[in-house]
Amino acid sequence: MFNQYRGCYLDISHFVYVHTTGDSTMVSPFAILFFGGDLVVDHSKGTIAADGWLKMSAPGRIAVLVNQLRKGVDLALIKKIDNPAVDIQQDACIQALVTMLRTEGDL
């Protein structure tokens, strides 16, 4: 699917639209920040880039918080992969991620 990539943009509703051949998919910026590849924070420009190409405006402190929360989520998921019996539902980082995805950041 991604080899048919044509472009993406962030619209006024703050959703990212990924366009492929004959298709368009709305994706939450939070989903991209947490699951969209490596993050690069540029404090001087006030941006955070996912996977080296998808840049979003974000004050430095927000970008750092997202990056740290993502590291916590990654650690919880690694624990779950290593031991499927481990319950990560009560993990603070997982709970914060679920809340952000459910509310689109409107807390």
Q: What is the pLDDT of residue 7?
A: 45
pLDDT recorded at residue 81: 93
Distance of alpha carbon 35 from alpha carbon 86, whole angstroms: 21
- Sign, Cα dihedral of 82, 98, 100, 11: positive
Query: Mean pLDDT in each 10-residue stretch from start to end of the chain (107 residues)?
Result: 44 50 68 82 87 82 85 93 94 91 72
Helices assigned H by DSSP within the chain: 29-35, 60-82, 92-103
DSSP state of 58: -
